[in-house]
Amino acid sequence: MMNEFELINHYFNWPLSDPSIELGVGDDAALFEIDADCQLVTSTDTLSEGVHFFKDALPGDIAYKSLAVNLSDIAAMGAKAKCFTLSLTLPKLDEIWLKEFSESLKEASEFFKVSLIGGDTTKGPLNITITIMGVVKKSKAIKRSGAKNGDDIYVSGNLGDAALCLKKMNEGINPNSSELNKLNQPAPRVKLGPALINIASSCIDVSDGLEQDLTHILRASKVGAIIDSQNLPLSDSVKDYLKTSQDLGLPLCGGDDYELCFTSDQSNQMEIKKISESLKIRITKIGVINNSQTLEIRGYEGSSESYQHF
């Protein structure tokens, strides 16, 4: 049976493609350079079995999503991801599971051009923790605290597909392939985030639900907002679901969307349209920032049902 060091060397010691990374997996710590005019951006997310994914989830899907959700956080800051560490807690040494997990993670890291530079392994309930690092030009990071009265509110992509998929699975209904992809293979907006520098006044990735995540922007910026539920960007699947259920809480509070919600001065509308067309990403205006200190959702009278970590 492999020991910890053999496991790491066999499954996770990949060639470094980024020349600015001097030292990666295999030493006490990693070494890499960043340009003098840049700031380091870092974020950490943990995915736990039974909380963030089902016990029978495919190891390849778990690996991809573990990296994707971290990339989404970096994108929300307007930064470009550079490298990451992986901490893996395993209930047992399953080489078939590890092979599928590591191959998927390697494929995703190559696709998104981020390098694995270190991490840790230990025994226990299945948990995957990734710490990701990126760079952004000094003073250019897009924070949650920059929204201003009169700013437009936008969201990328569609909302509610992952939540609909999860709802169907919990009810024993087979979701379609598009819904499964949104839940298991979310597409972090790694190109949109940096494109919004000097355009977005604030930004956040929609992971816990639009209602809750937009509220984080409002609190950090000390402003309020009005959004119209009729303007929410929805897929055909979610629209069909709403025809019978009228459950707007699903796209508003469902979470796991990993889209970007951002605010911008009204003068930037044409520039945002150009970004949308250039990147081929749907960007929808859903509301306006005001000074009310509250969030008003027109057309929705339900309670907040966004994801809570505890």
Residue list for the binding site for Mg(2+)? 28, 43-45, 73, 120, 205, 208
Specify the pairing of strand 115-123 against strand 200-206.
unpaired
Question: What does R_g of the chain's alpha carbons equal in angstroms?
Answer: 20
- Return all residues near 168 (Cβ < 8 A) that are at least 6 apart: 174, 175, 179
Specify the pairing of strand 259-264 against strand 38-48.
unpaired
| Binding-site annotation: residue ranges for substrate | 52, 256, 307
Buried b (16+ CB within 10 A) or exposed e, 80-117: bbbbbbbbbbbeeeeeebbebbbebbbebbeebebbbb
| Binding-site annotation: residue ranges | 28, 43-45, 52, 73, 119-120, 144, 205, 207-208, 256, 307
Which contacts (CB < 8 Å, 24+ apart) does range 73-76 have?
73/43, 73/45, 73/132, 73/205, 74/41, 74/43, 74/132, 74/134, 74/190, 74/193, 75/188, 75/189, 75/190, 75/192, 75/193, 75/194, 75/205, 75/260, 76/142, 76/193, 76/203, 76/204, 76/205, 76/260
- Return all residues near 70 (Cβ < 8 A) that are at least 6 apart: 43, 44, 45, 81, 84, 130, 131, 132
| Binding-site annotation: residue ranges for ATP | 119-120, 144, 207
